[in-house]
Structure 1
Amino acid sequence: MALPLTDNKKKKKKKWQTYAVLFILPSFLLYLLFVIVPTFSSLYLSFTSWDGVSSDIRFIGFNNFVEIWNSERVHNALKNTLFMAVVLVLLENIVALALAMLVDQVRWFRNLFRSVFYFPVLLSGIVMGFVWTIILNYNFGVINQLLDMIGLSSLKADWLGNPDFAMLSIILSTVWKSAGYYMIIYLAGLQGIPQELAEAANIDGANRWQQFLHITFPLLAGAMTVCIVLSMIGSLKIFDQIAVMTDGGPGFETETLTYIIYKVGFGELRQGFGTALAQVLFLLILIVTIIQVKFLRKREVQL
């Protein structure tokens, strides 16, 4: 049985508890002010017809959510969002894994290659969007000029103004920007695989593809879980590239849920509807993330 604390020890414990509270208090107040309060405020505003400017906030119940359910524009944006998310997750992870395996095999200038592949990650989405807008410009863009130089002028296209290519252009530019981030995670996973396993596979006569399929790929399950979840969340929230490169166009071909939230809330002054749509996006990301984590964790255990 433990002996009771003396009065002196009790005073010291209480003193340190007070200090702990004082250290935590500033961070807690900031979190309360910038996270908790806005969260509950947005939940309330989603049931109003507030325009974002006036002090007139009228409660309208579930009208915003009913409009979301019946809106063709929202349905189109949801389709675009899900399509872009699925394609981006696949391409980002395939490219990132390929780059990681390439860099892992490099003997000379390994750090240089890491830096080169990671550099696009450091660019903001706005800067990246402007860079690719110039590259893909129909009149003076690098892509069309190269096609002219090699005699393939017939393949020139308005990459951002043509509905057939606009979505593809955004997806490929986003992969260029973000693949380096996931490459670092995969590279850490690759370097954690014991060399003895590869050596034993070589002795048994396994080729590179068999080593990747039966050793590398299963042992990268943890890194793959992190990359796929982060990639999916980022893809569902994509905004900067669309705002700069296509403005949701041509027409509504590249409009996503995040971009509608911005356009409706700030362009059309319908903050109530935009906030309701943000709640829907939050639930979508939450559900998709839970399903992904549950499935991928189960795969890790099985492997």
Structure 2
Amino acid sequence: MAMPYPDSHNQIQTMPIPKKKRKVQLYALLFILPSLILYTLFVIVPTASSVYLSFTSWDGVSSDVHYIGLANFVEIWHSDRVHNALKNTLILTVSLVVLENVAALLLAVLVDQVRWFRNLFRSIFYFPVLMSGVVMGFIWTIILNYNFGVFNQILDKIGLSSLMVDWLGSPKYAMVSIILSTVWKSAGYYMIIYLAGLQSISADLTEAASIDGANRWQQFRHVTFPLLAGSMTVCSVLSMISSLKIFDQIAVMTDGGPGFATETLTYIIYKVGFGEMRQGFGTAMAMVLFLLILVITVIQVKFLRKREVQL
């Protein structure tokens, strides 16, 4: 009678972990532990606290925290001010995602074609990225000032004084001014990503297209642009997230005004939470903004990934 073979799978599962391997795992855990503790203290705990505070009427100072359920979220749903801030946020986000990517792609193509002083031009275009949003806001506030701003002074000198407007004091032009100044600051960052994508494209592909009779535009449209789909996905997602939480430029340049013309969700969270001492309501708005960014990011990544496959 044949003896049954032992169950090798069960034997492997029940084999004790060697002492040396347990020691290595312990060392690995000790290396991870400091980062895990810091991440827990500064990310997980504050996030959990924010979720709880969004259901309270806490003023941010007193020790009394009153649970009010969904009252904050109901107020957000019915608030005209929040609706206006959401509209401004979406307008700002769509405009910045499109303009930043177009400007960055144009700059990347331009720098990639330059043979002399390429690094100099790359540094010049990237320099605004190194500025903080506050510094950039002060610079553009001076440039766009109605009385002594450089932009209006140039219009006056060339005989176009009729086009002089209060760029930051007019509800019609304040958002446009913030969008253009933000594009000036951020385009260089995305240019570097597109430039890396351009330089990873083999020259043999464009040479083959040129031999087949394709002109410069056709080479870019049918060869270069489809191969930049991965870079475009990265830049679009980063630009979208950055635009949804823009704060510095608005705080310095317009303070959410004139009126509420440039008030966004991030800025209204700051104004309500710290200006009006309604931390509970502000935290609830922060939760809404978090969910908005999450949903838009997922949809955007799915769409762009699908586009990459199609291209």
Which TM class, normalised by the smaller chain length? over 0.9
Indicate the residue corresponding to 1:243 in structure 2: 251
Indicate the residue corresponding to 1:153 in structure 2: 161
* CA shift digits 1:91-115 (9 cap, x unpaired): 0000000000000000000000110
Match of 2:96 among 88, 102, 110: 88
What is the alpha-carbon distance in structure 2 between the residues aligned to residue 13 and residue 144 of structure 1? 71
Match of 2:29 among 21, 26, 33: 21
Indicate the residue corresponding to 1:33 in structure 2: 41
Alpha-carbon offset, residue 19 of structure 1? 1.2
Match of 1:69 among 77, 92, 97: 77
Indicate the residue corresponding to 2:139 in structure 1: 131
Structure 1 residues 1-303: aligned runs within 5 Å: 10-303=18-311
Alpha-carbon offset, residue 11 of structure 1? 2.1
Indicate the residue corresponding to 2:3 in structure 1: none
Which has more radius of gyration? 2
Q: Give the counterpart letter for 2:40 in structure 1.
A: L
Q: Give the counterpart letter for 2:35 in structure 1.
A: S
Larger CA deviation: 42-51 vs 149-158: 149-158
What is the alpha-carbon distance in structure 2 between the residues aligned to residue 17 and residue 289 of structure 1? 36
Alpha-carbon offset, residue 299 of structure 1? 1.1
What is the alpha-carbon distance in structure 1 between the residues aligned to residue 171 and residue 47 of structure 2? 36
SS in 2 for 1:56: coil
Larger CA deviation: 139-148 vs 68-77: 139-148
List 4+ stretches of structure 1 deviating above 3 A.
1-4
SS in 2 for 1:248: coil
* CA shift digits 1:65-84 (9 cap, x unpaired): 00000000000000000001
Indicate the residue corresponding to 2:5 in structure 1: none
Alpha-carbon offset, residue 17 of structure 1? 1.4
Kindly report the root-mean-square deviation, in angstroms, between the aligned alpha carbons of the 2 structures.
Answer: 1.6
Q: Give the counterpart letter for 2:274 in structure 1.
A: F
Q: Give the counterpart letter for 2:113 in structure 1.
A: Q
What is the alpha-carbon distance in structure 1 between the residues aligned to residue 26 and residue 198 of structure 2? 46
Q: Normalising by the residue count of structure 1, what TM-score does the alignment of the two structures yield?
A: 0.97
What is the alpha-carbon distance in structure 2 between the residues aligned to residue 20 and residue 186 of structure 1? 37
What is the alpha-carbon distance in structure 2 between the residues aligned to residue 228 and residue 150 of structure 1? 38
Q: Give the counterpart letter for 1:219 in structure 2.
A: L
Alpha-carbon offset, residue 149 of structure 1? 1.5
What is the alpha-carbon distance in structure 1 between the residues aligned to residue 304 and residue 156 of structure 2? 46
Q: Normalising by the residue count of structure 2, what TM-score does the alignment of the two structures yield?
A: 0.94
Alpha-carbon offset, residue 21 of structure 1? 1.1
Q: Give the counterpart letter for 1:167 in structure 2.
A: M
Alpha-carbon offset, residue 16 of structure 1? 1.5
Q: How many residues align?
A: 302
What is the alpha-carbon distance in structure 2 between the residues aligned to residue 197 and residue 76 of structure 1? 49
Q: Give the counterpart letter for 1:298 in structure 2.
A: K
Q: Give the counterpart letter for 2:160 in structure 1.
A: L
